Protein backbone atom coordinates (compact mmCIF):
# COMPACT_ATOMS: atom_id res chain seq x y z
CA UNK A 1 0.00 0.00 0.00
CA UNK A 2 2.80 2.38 0.77
CA UNK A 3 3.81 2.77 -2.82
CA UNK A 4 7.09 4.12 -4.15
CA UNK A 5 6.73 7.63 -2.77
CA UNK A 6 5.33 6.96 0.71
CA UNK A 7 6.73 5.57 3.95
CA UNK A 8 4.88 3.31 6.36
CA UNK A 9 6.41 4.43 9.65
CA UNK A 10 4.98 1.51 11.62
CA UNK A 11 7.81 -0.78 10.56
CA UNK A 12 11.61 -0.72 10.61
CA UNK A 13 14.15 1.06 12.87
CA UNK A 14 12.48 3.94 14.69
CA UNK A 15 15.34 6.44 14.51
CA UNK A 16 15.95 5.71 10.85
CA UNK A 17 12.27 6.10 9.98
CA UNK A 18 11.97 9.46 11.75
CA UNK A 19 15.23 10.85 10.37
CA UNK A 20 14.52 9.57 6.84
CA UNK A 21 11.17 11.36 6.93
CA UNK A 22 12.51 14.49 8.66
CA UNK A 23 15.56 14.95 6.43
CA UNK A 24 13.65 16.05 3.29
CA UNK A 25 11.49 18.27 5.53
CA UNK A 26 14.67 19.90 6.81
CA UNK A 27 15.96 20.65 3.33
CA UNK A 28 12.52 21.81 2.23
CA UNK A 29 12.27 24.21 5.17
CA UNK A 30 15.84 25.34 4.51
CA UNK A 31 15.04 26.30 0.93
CA UNK A 32 11.85 27.99 2.03
CA UNK A 33 13.75 29.97 4.64
CA UNK A 34 16.43 30.82 2.08
CA UNK A 35 13.96 32.30 -0.35
CA UNK A 36 12.17 34.15 2.47
CA UNK A 37 15.56 35.47 3.51
CA UNK A 38 16.40 36.32 -0.10
CA UNK A 39 13.25 38.48 -0.23
CA UNK A 40 14.45 40.51 2.74
CA UNK A 41 18.07 40.68 1.55
CA UNK A 42 17.03 41.93 -1.87
CA UNK A 43 14.46 44.36 -0.46
CA UNK A 44 16.82 45.71 2.20
CA UNK A 45 19.74 46.18 -0.18
CA UNK A 46 17.96 47.29 -3.37
CA UNK A 47 14.92 49.23 -2.10
CA UNK A 48 15.82 50.37 1.42
CA UNK A 49 14.79 50.52 5.08
CA UNK A 50 11.19 51.61 4.48
CA UNK A 51 10.52 48.71 2.12
CA UNK A 52 12.18 46.19 4.47
CA UNK A 53 10.07 47.52 7.33
CA UNK A 54 6.92 47.19 5.17
CA UNK A 55 7.62 43.53 4.41
CA UNK A 56 8.56 42.86 8.06
CA UNK A 57 5.47 44.56 9.49
CA UNK A 58 3.24 42.40 7.26
CA UNK A 59 4.81 39.05 8.18
CA UNK A 60 3.04 38.55 11.52
CA UNK A 61 -0.32 39.36 9.99
CA UNK A 62 0.30 37.05 7.04
CA UNK A 63 1.14 34.16 9.34
CA UNK A 64 -1.96 34.90 11.39
CA UNK A 65 -4.19 34.32 8.36
CA UNK A 66 -2.24 31.66 6.45
CA UNK A 67 -1.11 29.91 9.65
CA UNK A 68 -4.68 29.16 10.67
CA UNK A 69 -5.31 27.14 7.52
CA UNK A 70 -1.87 25.59 7.72
CA UNK A 71 -2.82 24.31 11.17
CA UNK A 72 -6.03 22.84 9.80
CA UNK A 73 -4.00 21.12 7.07
CA UNK A 74 -1.65 19.61 9.67
CA UNK A 75 -4.58 18.45 11.79
CA UNK A 76 -6.27 16.93 8.75
CA UNK A 77 -3.05 15.08 8.02
CA UNK A 78 -3.25 13.45 11.45
CA UNK A 79 -6.57 11.83 10.51
CA UNK A 80 -5.22 10.76 7.12
CA UNK A 81 -2.06 9.31 8.70
CA UNK A 82 -4.13 7.37 11.25
CA UNK A 83 -6.12 5.68 8.48
CA UNK A 84 -2.96 5.12 6.45
CA UNK A 85 -1.29 3.41 9.41
CA UNK A 86 -4.40 1.30 10.02
CA UNK A 87 -4.55 0.45 6.28
CA UNK A 88 -8.19 1.52 6.09
CA UNK A 89 -8.34 2.38 2.37
CA UNK A 90 -11.99 3.43 2.27
CA UNK A 91 -11.74 6.04 5.02
CA UNK A 92 -8.31 7.08 3.77
CA UNK A 93 -9.70 8.08 0.36
CA UNK A 94 -12.71 9.84 1.89
CA UNK A 95 -10.50 11.84 4.24
CA UNK A 96 -8.21 12.94 1.39
CA UNK A 97 -11.01 14.11 -0.92
CA UNK A 98 -12.85 15.89 1.89
CA UNK A 99 -9.61 17.65 2.84
CA UNK A 100 -9.03 18.93 -0.70
CA UNK A 101 -12.64 20.08 -1.17
CA UNK A 102 -12.55 21.95 2.13
CA UNK A 103 -9.19 23.50 1.23
CA UNK A 104 -10.64 25.00 -1.96
CA UNK A 105 -13.37 26.69 0.05
CA UNK A 106 -10.84 28.02 2.59
CA UNK A 107 -8.57 29.41 -0.12
CA UNK A 108 -11.39 31.36 -1.77
CA UNK A 109 -12.51 32.81 1.57
CA UNK A 110 -9.00 33.86 2.58
CA UNK A 111 -8.49 35.68 -0.74
CA UNK A 112 -11.56 37.83 -0.12
CA UNK A 113 -10.68 38.65 3.51
CA UNK A 114 -6.99 39.31 2.85
CA UNK A 115 -7.43 41.63 -0.12
CA UNK A 116 -10.24 43.77 1.30
CA UNK A 117 -9.32 43.89 5.00
CA UNK A 118 -5.62 44.75 4.59
CA UNK A 119 -5.69 48.54 5.19
CA UNK A 120 -7.90 48.38 8.26
CA UNK A 121 -5.90 45.61 9.93
CA UNK A 122 -2.51 47.22 9.25
CA UNK A 123 -3.75 50.53 10.68
CA UNK A 124 -5.03 48.78 13.80
CA UNK A 125 -1.55 47.27 14.23
CA UNK A 126 -0.09 50.76 14.41
CA UNK A 127 2.03 50.34 11.28
CA UNK A 128 4.20 53.49 10.92
CA UNK A 129 2.73 56.02 8.46
CA UNK A 130 5.83 55.99 6.25
CA UNK A 131 5.61 52.20 5.98
CA UNK A 132 1.83 51.81 5.57
CA UNK A 133 1.44 52.34 1.76
CA UNK A 134 4.09 49.73 0.94
CA UNK A 135 2.65 47.33 3.54
CA UNK A 136 -0.82 47.56 2.01
CA UNK A 137 0.54 46.96 -1.50
CA UNK A 138 2.59 43.96 -0.36
CA UNK A 139 -0.27 42.51 1.67
CA UNK A 140 -2.92 42.79 -1.06
CA UNK A 141 -0.78 41.26 -3.80
CA UNK A 142 0.33 38.49 -1.47
CA UNK A 143 -3.24 37.55 -0.56
CA UNK A 144 -4.42 37.59 -4.15
CA UNK A 145 -2.61 34.24 -4.25
CA UNK A 146 -4.30 32.85 -1.14
CA UNK A 147 -5.70 29.85 -2.99
CA UNK A 148 -2.18 28.75 -3.84
CA UNK A 149 -0.89 29.16 -0.28
CA UNK A 150 -3.81 27.29 1.26
CA UNK A 151 -3.89 24.44 -1.27
CA UNK A 152 -0.13 24.00 -1.06
CA UNK A 153 -0.41 23.42 2.69
CA UNK A 154 -3.30 21.00 2.25
CA UNK A 155 -1.58 19.07 -0.57
CA UNK A 156 1.69 18.82 1.35
CA UNK A 157 -0.22 17.76 4.46
CA UNK A 158 -1.72 14.85 2.52
CA UNK A 159 1.62 13.77 1.03
CA UNK A 160 3.40 13.95 4.39
CA UNK A 161 0.63 12.06 6.17
CA UNK A 162 1.32 9.03 3.95
CA UNK A 163 5.04 9.38 4.62
CA UNK A 164 6.03 11.21 1.44
CA UNK A 165 8.34 14.07 2.36
CA UNK A 166 10.55 13.70 -0.73
CA UNK A 167 8.25 15.16 -3.38
CA UNK A 168 7.33 18.27 -1.34
CA UNK A 169 11.07 18.89 -0.99
CA UNK A 170 11.61 18.75 -4.75
CA UNK A 171 8.68 21.07 -5.43
CA UNK A 172 9.78 23.52 -2.77
CA UNK A 173 13.28 23.72 -4.22
CA UNK A 174 11.84 24.46 -7.65
CA UNK A 175 9.52 27.17 -6.34
CA UNK A 176 12.32 28.69 -4.21
CA UNK A 177 14.60 29.02 -7.22
CA UNK A 178 11.79 30.60 -9.24
CA UNK A 179 11.03 33.04 -6.41
CA UNK A 180 14.65 34.17 -6.04
CA UNK A 181 15.14 34.57 -9.80
CA UNK A 182 11.97 36.65 -10.08
CA UNK A 183 13.12 38.82 -7.16
CA UNK A 184 16.48 39.44 -8.81
CA UNK A 185 14.90 40.28 -12.17
CA UNK A 186 11.96 42.39 -10.96
CA UNK A 187 13.77 44.24 -8.17
CA UNK A 188 17.49 43.94 -8.85
CA UNK A 189 17.20 44.51 -12.60
CA UNK A 190 14.01 46.52 -13.14
CA UNK A 191 13.84 48.17 -9.68
CA UNK A 192 10.16 47.51 -9.03
CA UNK A 193 8.82 48.04 -5.49
CA UNK A 194 7.68 45.71 -2.70
CA UNK A 195 4.68 44.63 -4.77
CA UNK A 196 7.10 42.73 -7.00
CA UNK A 197 8.32 40.75 -3.98
CA UNK A 198 4.79 39.58 -3.21
CA UNK A 199 4.13 38.88 -6.90
CA UNK A 200 7.22 36.67 -7.14
CA UNK A 201 6.12 34.72 -4.06
CA UNK A 202 2.62 34.17 -5.45
CA UNK A 203 3.89 32.92 -8.82
CA UNK A 204 6.38 30.51 -7.23
CA UNK A 205 3.68 29.18 -4.89
CA UNK A 206 1.32 28.46 -7.78
CA UNK A 207 4.09 26.44 -9.44
CA UNK A 208 4.53 24.28 -6.34
CA UNK A 209 0.75 23.77 -6.07
CA UNK A 210 0.56 22.52 -9.65
CA UNK A 211 3.42 20.10 -9.03
CA UNK A 212 1.81 18.79 -5.81
CA UNK A 213 -1.51 18.33 -7.59
CA UNK A 214 0.16 16.40 -10.38
CA UNK A 215 1.80 14.08 -7.85
CA UNK A 216 -1.49 13.39 -6.04
CA UNK A 217 -3.26 12.68 -9.32
CA UNK A 218 -0.63 10.01 -10.10
CA UNK A 219 -0.17 8.52 -6.62
CA UNK A 220 -0.88 4.84 -5.82
CA UNK A 221 -4.56 3.96 -6.04
CA UNK A 222 -5.02 3.76 -2.25
CA UNK A 223 -4.49 7.50 -1.79
CA UNK A 224 -4.79 8.86 -5.33
CA UNK A 225 -6.69 12.13 -5.77
CA UNK A 226 -9.59 11.93 -8.22
CA UNK A 227 -11.38 15.20 -9.16
CA UNK A 228 -14.63 13.28 -9.67
CA UNK A 229 -14.58 12.17 -6.02
CA UNK A 230 -14.12 15.66 -4.57
CA UNK A 231 -16.94 16.25 -2.11
CA UNK A 232 -17.50 17.11 1.53
CA UNK A 233 -18.22 14.02 3.59
CA UNK A 234 -19.90 15.42 6.72
CA UNK A 235 -18.69 12.74 9.12
CA UNK A 236 -15.15 12.92 7.77
CA UNK A 237 -15.17 16.73 7.82
CA UNK A 238 -16.17 16.57 11.48
CA UNK A 239 -13.12 14.41 12.22
CA UNK A 240 -10.84 16.67 10.20
CA UNK A 241 -12.09 19.78 11.98
CA UNK A 242 -11.89 18.15 15.41
CA UNK A 243 -8.21 17.53 14.73
CA UNK A 244 -7.46 20.54 12.54
CA UNK A 245 -9.27 23.44 14.18
CA UNK A 246 -7.28 23.27 17.44
CA UNK A 247 -4.05 23.20 15.41
CA UNK A 248 -5.29 26.12 13.33
CA UNK A 249 -6.31 28.09 16.39
CA UNK A 250 -2.92 27.28 17.94
CA UNK A 251 -1.15 28.89 14.98
CA UNK A 252 -3.52 31.84 15.13
CA UNK A 253 -3.03 32.23 18.87
CA UNK A 254 0.72 32.48 18.36
CA UNK A 255 0.16 34.90 15.50
CA UNK A 256 -2.24 37.09 17.49
CA UNK A 257 0.42 37.46 20.16
CA UNK A 258 3.05 38.17 17.51
CA UNK A 259 0.82 40.79 15.89
CA UNK A 260 0.52 42.45 19.31
CA UNK A 261 4.29 42.23 19.77
CA UNK A 262 4.79 43.72 16.30
CA UNK A 263 2.44 46.59 17.16
CA UNK A 264 4.59 47.37 20.21
CA UNK A 265 7.78 47.15 18.15
CA UNK A 266 6.22 49.53 15.61
CA UNK A 267 6.01 52.09 18.41
CA UNK A 268 9.82 52.19 18.59
CA UNK A 269 10.08 53.40 14.98
CA UNK A 270 11.22 52.29 11.56
CA UNK A 271 14.73 51.21 12.56
CA UNK A 272 13.36 48.93 15.27
CA UNK A 273 10.90 47.39 12.81
CA UNK A 274 13.67 46.77 10.28
CA UNK A 275 16.05 45.34 12.90
CA UNK A 276 13.47 42.95 14.35
CA UNK A 277 12.40 42.00 10.82
CA UNK A 278 15.99 41.08 9.94
CA UNK A 279 16.31 39.01 13.11
CA UNK A 280 13.05 37.19 12.35
CA UNK A 281 14.58 35.91 9.12
CA UNK A 282 17.61 34.64 11.01
CA UNK A 283 15.43 33.05 13.69
CA UNK A 284 13.66 31.20 10.89
CA UNK A 285 16.72 28.96 10.64
CA UNK A 286 16.15 27.86 14.25
CA UNK A 287 12.78 26.54 13.17
CA UNK A 288 14.35 24.25 10.55
CA UNK A 289 15.02 21.30 12.90
CA UNK A 290 12.05 22.21 15.09
CA UNK A 291 9.54 22.14 12.25
CA UNK A 292 10.88 19.06 10.49
CA UNK A 293 11.06 16.91 13.63
CA UNK A 294 7.72 18.09 15.04
CA UNK A 295 5.99 17.26 11.74
CA UNK A 296 7.82 13.95 11.56
CA UNK A 297 6.69 13.15 15.10
CA UNK A 298 3.08 14.03 14.27
CA UNK A 299 3.06 11.59 11.35
CA UNK A 300 5.03 8.92 13.24
CA UNK A 301 2.81 9.04 16.32
CA UNK A 302 -0.41 9.05 14.30
CA UNK A 303 0.55 6.15 12.03
CA UNK A 304 1.77 3.99 14.91
CA UNK A 305 -1.28 4.66 17.07
CA UNK A 306 -3.40 3.68 14.06
CA UNK A 307 -1.41 0.44 13.86
CA UNK A 308 -1.64 0.02 17.69
CA UNK A 309 2.16 -0.11 18.10
CA UNK A 310 2.42 1.70 21.41
CA UNK A 311 6.03 0.89 22.31
CA UNK A 312 7.15 2.54 19.07
CA UNK A 313 5.11 5.61 20.01
CA UNK A 314 6.98 6.12 23.29
CA UNK A 315 10.44 5.43 21.87
CA UNK A 316 9.87 7.63 18.82
CA UNK A 317 8.65 10.53 20.96
CA UNK A 318 11.78 10.53 23.14
CA UNK A 319 14.09 10.20 20.14
CA UNK A 320 12.46 13.08 18.28
CA UNK A 321 12.52 15.42 21.29
CA UNK A 322 16.20 14.73 21.96
CA UNK A 323 17.26 15.40 18.35
CA UNK A 324 15.24 18.61 18.09
CA UNK A 325 16.37 20.15 21.38
CA UNK A 326 20.07 19.55 20.65
CA UNK A 327 19.87 20.88 17.09
CA UNK A 328 17.95 24.04 18.08
CA UNK A 329 20.38 24.89 20.88
CA UNK A 330 23.43 24.46 18.65
CA UNK A 331 21.94 26.88 16.13
CA UNK A 332 21.17 29.28 18.99
CA UNK A 333 24.84 29.33 20.05
CA UNK A 334 25.92 30.16 16.49
CA UNK A 335 23.35 32.96 16.24
CA UNK A 336 24.54 34.46 19.54
CA UNK A 337 28.15 34.54 18.34
CA UNK A 338 27.55 35.85 14.83
CA UNK A 339 24.44 38.01 15.39
CA UNK A 340 25.94 41.39 14.33
CA UNK A 341 27.31 39.95 11.08
CA UNK A 342 24.06 38.18 10.28
CA UNK A 343 21.92 41.28 10.87
CA UNK A 344 24.35 43.41 8.82
CA UNK A 345 23.72 41.17 5.82
CA UNK A 346 20.21 42.61 5.65
CA UNK A 347 20.99 46.23 6.44
CA UNK A 348 24.17 48.16 7.26
CA UNK A 349 22.45 50.88 9.29
CA UNK A 350 24.00 50.81 12.81
CA UNK A 351 20.63 51.30 14.56
CA UNK A 352 19.13 48.35 12.68
CA UNK A 353 22.11 46.11 13.50
CA UNK A 354 21.97 47.11 17.18
CA UNK A 355 18.27 46.26 17.57
CA UNK A 356 18.53 42.95 15.71
CA UNK A 357 21.61 41.88 17.65
CA UNK A 358 20.01 42.72 20.98
CA UNK A 359 16.97 40.58 20.20
CA UNK A 360 19.12 37.71 18.94
CA UNK A 361 21.32 37.65 22.03
CA UNK A 362 18.35 37.92 24.38
CA UNK A 363 16.65 34.83 22.97
CA UNK A 364 19.40 32.61 21.55
CA UNK A 365 20.22 30.44 24.58
CA UNK A 366 16.55 29.60 25.19
CA UNK A 367 15.80 27.92 21.87
CA UNK A 368 15.82 24.46 23.50
CA UNK A 369 12.63 25.46 25.34
CA UNK A 370 11.01 26.54 22.06
CA UNK A 371 12.05 23.22 20.49
CA UNK A 372 10.65 21.13 23.32
CA UNK A 373 7.31 22.95 23.24
CA UNK A 374 6.87 22.50 19.50
CA UNK A 375 7.85 18.82 19.69
CA UNK A 376 5.29 18.22 22.40
CA UNK A 377 2.65 20.00 20.33
CA UNK A 378 3.50 17.73 17.37
CA UNK A 379 3.37 14.58 19.51
CA UNK A 380 0.04 15.51 21.06
CA UNK A 381 -1.45 16.38 17.66
CA UNK A 382 -0.39 12.97 16.38
CA UNK A 383 -2.03 11.39 19.43
CA UNK A 384 -5.31 13.16 18.66
CA UNK A 385 -4.97 15.57 21.59
CA UNK A 386 -4.57 18.78 19.59
CA UNK A 387 -6.71 20.74 22.07
CA UNK A 388 -3.99 20.46 24.73
CA UNK A 389 -1.24 22.38 22.85
CA UNK A 390 -3.87 24.89 21.73
CA UNK A 391 -4.78 25.64 25.36
CA UNK A 392 -1.13 25.80 26.48
CA UNK A 393 -0.29 28.23 23.66
CA UNK A 394 -3.39 30.31 24.40
CA UNK A 395 -2.51 30.67 28.08
CA UNK A 396 1.23 31.27 27.84
CA UNK A 397 2.08 32.41 24.30
CA UNK A 398 -0.91 34.71 23.96
CA UNK A 399 -2.61 35.77 27.20
CA UNK A 400 0.47 35.75 29.43
CA UNK A 401 2.78 37.17 26.75
CA UNK A 402 0.42 40.02 25.90
CA UNK A 403 -0.25 40.77 29.59
CA UNK A 404 3.45 40.78 30.40
CA UNK A 405 4.28 43.23 27.59
CA UNK A 406 1.31 45.47 28.37
CA UNK A 407 2.31 45.83 32.02
CA UNK A 408 6.11 45.72 31.76
CA UNK A 409 6.46 48.23 28.91
CA UNK A 410 4.68 50.87 31.01
CA UNK A 411 7.23 50.63 33.79
CA UNK A 412 10.31 49.90 31.65
CA UNK A 413 9.76 51.49 28.20
CA UNK A 414 12.71 49.84 26.43
CA UNK A 415 12.52 47.36 23.56
CA UNK A 416 14.44 44.63 25.44
CA UNK A 417 11.37 44.16 27.65
CA UNK A 418 9.53 42.96 24.55
CA UNK A 419 12.35 40.60 23.61
CA UNK A 420 12.24 38.89 27.02
CA UNK A 421 8.58 37.98 26.49
CA UNK A 422 9.68 35.03 24.36
CA UNK A 423 12.12 33.20 26.71
CA UNK A 424 9.73 33.70 29.64
CA UNK A 425 6.70 32.22 27.87
CA UNK A 426 8.75 29.44 26.25
CA UNK A 427 9.86 28.38 29.75
CA UNK A 428 6.31 28.28 31.11
CA UNK A 429 4.93 26.29 28.17
CA UNK A 430 7.83 23.81 28.26
CA UNK A 431 7.29 23.12 31.96
CA UNK A 432 3.56 22.58 31.43
CA UNK A 433 4.15 20.24 28.50
CA UNK A 434 6.70 18.25 30.50
CA UNK A 435 4.22 17.68 33.34
CA UNK A 436 1.46 16.67 30.91
CA UNK A 437 3.80 14.40 28.92
CA UNK A 438 4.77 12.41 32.02
CA UNK A 439 1.13 11.91 32.95
CA UNK A 440 -0.12 11.06 29.47
CA UNK A 441 2.62 8.86 28.04
CA UNK A 442 3.49 6.96 31.21
CA UNK A 443 0.00 5.42 31.23
CA UNK A 444 -1.96 3.17 28.86
CA UNK A 445 -1.71 4.53 25.33
CA UNK A 446 -4.64 2.35 24.23
CA UNK A 447 -6.93 4.96 25.74
CA UNK A 448 -5.57 7.72 23.45
pLDDT band at 1 (very low <50, low <70, confident <90, very high): very low
- pLDDT of 5: 53
Evaluate if residue 6 carries a pLDDT over 80: no
- pLDDT of 374: 93
pLDDT tens-digit readout, 364-416: 999 999 999 999 999 998 888 889 999 998 899 989 999 999 999 989 999 99
pLDDT band at 209 (very low <50, low <70, confident <90, very high): very high
Q: Which of 97-101, 242-246, 278-282, 295-299 has the highest mean pLDDT?
A: 97-101
- pLDDT of 190: 79
- pLDDT of 426: 96
Q: Evaluate whether 276 touches 359 at the Cβ level (below 8 Å).
A: yes
pLDDT band at 324 (very low <50, low <70, confident <90, very high): very high
Please give the average per-residue pLDDT across 183-192, as a whole number. Answer: 82
Evaluate if residue 186 carries a pLDDT over 90: no
- pLDDT of 259: 76
pLDDT tens-digit readout, 13-34: 999 889 988 888 888 777 777 7
Considering the chain, what is the average pLDDT of its residues? 86
Please give the average per-residue pLDDT across 264-273, as a whole number. Answer: 86
Dihedral over Cα of 135, 184, 145, 216: its sign:
negative
Please give the average per-residue pLDDT across 121-145, as a whole number. Answer: 80
- pLDDT of 3: 42
pLDDT band at 2 (very low <50, low <70, confident <90, very high): very low
pLDDT band at 446 (very low <50, low <70, confident <90, very high): low
Evaluate if residue 177 carries a pLDDT over 50: yes
pLDDT tens-digit readout, 230-249: 999 999 999 999 888 888 88
- pLDDT of 365: 94
Evaluate if residue 213 carries a pLDDT over 90: yes
Q: What is the pTM of this model?
A: 0.76
- pLDDT of 346: 81
- pLDDT of 39: 67
Please give the average per-residue pLDDT across 282-301, as a whole number. Answer: 88
Q: Which of 58-72, 131-145, 171-185, 424-438 has the highest mean pLDDT?
A: 424-438
- Who has greater pLDDT, 205 or 55? 205
Amino acid sequence: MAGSSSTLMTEGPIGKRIITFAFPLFWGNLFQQLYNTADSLIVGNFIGNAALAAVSSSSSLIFLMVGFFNGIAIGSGVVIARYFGARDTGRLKRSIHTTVAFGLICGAGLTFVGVFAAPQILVLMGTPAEVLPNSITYFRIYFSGSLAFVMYNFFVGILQSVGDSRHPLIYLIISSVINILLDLVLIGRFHFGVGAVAFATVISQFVSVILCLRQLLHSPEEFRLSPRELRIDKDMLRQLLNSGLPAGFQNSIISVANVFVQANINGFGQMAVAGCGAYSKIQGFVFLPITCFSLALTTFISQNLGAKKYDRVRTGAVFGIFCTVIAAELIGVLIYIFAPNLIAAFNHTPEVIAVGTEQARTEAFFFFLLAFSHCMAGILRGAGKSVVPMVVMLVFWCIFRVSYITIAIRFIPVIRVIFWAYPITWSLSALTFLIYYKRCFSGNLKTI
